[in-house]
Structure 1
């Protein structure tokens, strides 16, 4: 055909990552150098020959077998120039976020080791339906709306969301927006320590309040103002109204008195009390009536 094409190189693709040529294994593909159409299994239109790995890129020459109408069509369009790009399908074996493998504008890790398993003639390279990769046994066609399995870089200048979140957290904590992660973590640790101290103080205050309430209720039982079986009720009342109101309530209560204490033990009087003039007059009238 006489038209050598680039299969891949070290440059940044439109999905934000790079495939290092030095880490691409072509040995398996060279044993079965299929040429597909748009990465679709079953649409074999030929093979790739004279595959070379040199100068940071991999190149080869597409050969159309013309065994199908699709192959014959692709050959004509290739010769005419309306089809002129190819794309690789590869397995991701290893990736790296190390700065030595990153370039300006990169948003995903660099694929440092990979393996080519097919090459396709495509209409638009490194764009819709232009790159197919397999990771952990799953094939992803990036142009069909699938998510790229390579994660976004957190330390990439173009991906500043983590930095924005750190800035917002710093401002919320009362730190300057330029505070780094260490300063934010130190402030969070300080707040946690303060919270723990406040919680301990609150628990101690609650313990002291309960002790005061219990002592007041016990004193009320001792003074016969309440009975022992009312103890829990008055302790719960103290928790609700506070020790001052509880003391006021108990103070207003009268100690219980035994019934025996209300009965007189003094001996009965030996003489009757003097009669009133009216009673004496009535006695005189009754006596006269008896005489008659």
Structure 2
């Protein structure tokens, strides 16, 4: 079994000076086409293989390489990986500018989408990345650096504590106190009757809120990503079962898939309303070996097993679900 590669470690700062929240990386697009490229060269000749078992393990995003061994160039790289001369990969991600933020005193990308992942020989650091815009165009290093600089506060700039950036505590100003609005005092849980507070106390409170905000965003994004992945798996299962039952032909699959992406419940209702067709495939389905005596037993079966039971035991199925002929 190949050793997994580390796509992302959210504790590591990349060469552009920011960290990426692992739970905020969407895999929805990537799982449909998990490309393994050679040094981010997006061409058919530079496809080395694909990635499998892409999983999140605490702070890490991991994936296992599967090389196209019929391609001599891919086989050459696979040999170097196997002999541990190459151990690194590099993510290619697309993102929205507003998802790259100053949180606390760090530059953090809270959300992005995995576009591709490449085998690389010597990345700029242990967690090298390449950035794409929303149109799938690869950004130049100069463009990314300018973007990061535009987000960082300039020397002497004072950032209000109600914003995402941290306060700029310029020692030249020799400020020990700061006057806050009632809204800011309330948000930071300070005494509203004393608007003048210590700068250090404000900084501490802002950092605490920023970290809590980042954690909550990470949890929300993780839940959204998990939900999207579950919906994609459920959609595939419904389409596979419907096609296997002869409810639609292969050329019509895209139309049913589009319906399912709009509403899984409508797709399920639509497929349930279409009668199954008796075909050779239906007749040769492997019988269900598990005893099915109740509805609960039936619900424990996989979709294929449910279909096999329904086709093989129509009378029992009709009686179990009170289906009138």
User: Please, what TM-score do these two structures have when normalized by structure 2?
Assistant: 0.43
Structure with bigger gyration radius: 1
**TM-score, normalised with respect to structure 1:** 0.48
